[in-house]
Chains A and B, each alone.
Chain A
């Protein structure tokens, strides 16, 4: 019962929404300075959205409770930084290690013969993807023993892996590569927040396509019932490994982009707290809802970094009360909000539903009193 008219309408509305988003991003980039808090929030939130969606792919769609996200982000971040610092600046960055072992920069290499704009951005993207591949390779290695474990045991093993990795990257003997416990810096960044949003939009779209493919169905089948999935001929080990590798690939890319956003990089930033933050976003957004993860990332980062800042610095919503609104009060309020959300939305804000263009079109049709053709069954969308 496919209504051609409504499908065309949906794609028009979908394209229109994308164009509006792009226009808004361009306006923001044009009028706001790059250090403006709104720009910073958009950059960080889109990175968190990508990592949250990659974690959701594993925890929400395949049912593998892994807590290694920070570790794979660390791999992506270091790969990005190591291979993109301009050669001329390496002596300064690796000052304790004689300029380091690696003496080339992928973005620099591309910008030499493709020009400063196209070449540099292409080099950045390729280096980010290289970071994803490194994370994916480590996921493959670690997955061989670890994916035999179930639920909590898998969580503990992956968490341990991430912590060991962080310590390993600070090891002085690896200094010429990782700069030990010193900062890595001076690597290139996108000039605009639009770059972040577009690139991450593409990666998330890829994950959406994967989730809706035959592989995605197999992942969900494994989550719902391993024995039945195996009886249908789904190779459990292979599919779990695949989900783990793909999730880590995108976490690695997310890590690289987080390094870009932060401007300087050290292993200390990738503590297990970061994994918990992302887990929080996934759970609050709804386990098994991609749009839930994305929306929650933006809400979470915007309130943490921007909207609730006043709670720590004396003035919130125009109320000046330095006695109450002082350091630490923000975290107390955030904890309260989290508790309220968990109490009233026990399955997260979106549950396992998705926010879709189809749903938006239907909503507006209803709003303006237009009768939508009634389908025999519902379709689970909002």
Chain B
């Protein structure tokens, strides 16, 4: 296995007295697609938010290339090369597509021209809609924009929180193709999904999260054929 780029150890997170994450550990090897699957309330989103510092963990450690992230500000974590595509897309509705993309590169001071060309190359649809307000885009296009925006910070690790949420199956397939493409270009992907079938198909490695604990792990193919997973998440 390749080097571990992101490592979470015994992470515990409390939300106003409720234990959302009860001590989970997992590793993300560089250059791979890792997925966390689980039902609503399993603690998936909370885990991702803790990684970028949007939520402060109660205990445990999160290391990025060996450097501790717990206790750091979001700004400094993002500038190290980790970025989050938040759940529900959260594009800036009253700004144009281009402005949204530029905000993604907020922490960079260098020239953006090449990177804008790169994300337009990944998502030609966004180039067509460059001057349109993000709020007027369709759900699928907004998801593309959210991913493009995140890529503008030139991340080493991109974390995606349910990119398939509320999208038609055909659009979801397009999004997953893009995820594979981004990964092929060298970006490590940490994906959380309820759409276990799609996620496991593209994942190199996967963890199953249940009520704040990891209950199963294995390669994507292993979990796809696992009976428990089949019963609980794949509806077979």
Contacts and interface: CB of A to CB of B under 8 A. Distances in A.
Contact of B75 (A220, A224, A225, A233): A233
Contact of A352 (B84, B92, B94): B94
Contacts of A229: 92, 103
Given A217-B95, A376-B128, A378-B131, A227 B153 contact: no
A238 to B, nearest CB: 8
B165 to A, nearest CB: 15
A100 B96 CA distance: 55
Contacts of B107: 232-233
A227 B95 CA distance: 16
Nearest to B53: A230
A235 B86 CA distance: 17
Given A221-B95, A225-B90, A377 B106 contact: no
A377 B102 contact: no
Given A220-B99, A221-B103, A227-B86, A233 B94 contact: no
A234 interface: yes
B90 A228 contact: yes
B106 to A, nearest CB: 5
A60 to B, nearest CB: 10
B90 A379 contact: no
Contacts of A376: 128, 130
Interface residues of B, number: 32
Contacts of A235: 73-75
B78 interface: yes
B78 A232 contact: yes
A227 B54 contact: yes
B54 A232 contact: no
Nearest to B92: A224
Given A376-B128, A377-B130, A214 B92 contact: no
Contacts of B104: 232
Nearest to B100: A221
A231 B132 contact: no
Nearest to A234: B106
Nearest to A224: B92
Interface in A363-378: 376-378
Contacts of A223: 94
Contacts of A232: 78, 83, 103-104, 106-107, 149-150, 153
Most buried by B among A217, A231, A380: A231
Interface string A231-266: 111110000000000000000000000000000000
A380 B74 contact: no
A218 interface: yes
Contacts of A379: 131
Interface in B121-144: 128-133
B99 A217 contact: yes
Is the interface on chain A under 10, 10 to 19, 20 to 34, or 35 or more residues?
Answer: 20 to 34
Interface in B67-118: 73-75, 78-79, 83-84, 86, 90-96, 99, 102-104, 106-107
Given A224-B92, A377-B130, A378-B131, A230 B103 contact: no
B84 A220 contact: no
B52 interface: yes
Contacts of B129: 377
Given A218-B103, A221-B95, A233 B131 contact: no
A233 B128 contact: no
A214 B112 CA distance: 12
Contacts of A221: 92, 95, 103, 106
Nearest to A375: B131
A61 to B, nearest CB: 10
Contacts of B86: 227-228, 231
B52 A225 contact: no
18 contacts: A214-B102, A217-B99, A220-B94, A221-B92, A224-B92, A224-B93, A224-B95, A225-B93, A227-B90, A228-B91, A231-B78, A232-B78, A232-B149, A233-B75, A288-B94, A352-B94, A376-B128, A377-B128
Given A233-B75, A377-B130, 10 more contacts: A214-B102, A217-B99, A221-B103, A221-B106, A224-B92, A227-B54, A232-B153, A376-B130, A377-B132, A378-B131
Interface of A: 214, 217-218, 220-221, 223-225, 227-235, 288, 352, 376-380
Interface of B: 52, 54, 73-75, 78-79, 83-84, 86, 90-96, 99, 102-104, 106-107, 128-133, 149-150, 153
The 3 closest A-B pairs by CB, nearest first: A233-B78, A228-B90, A377-B131
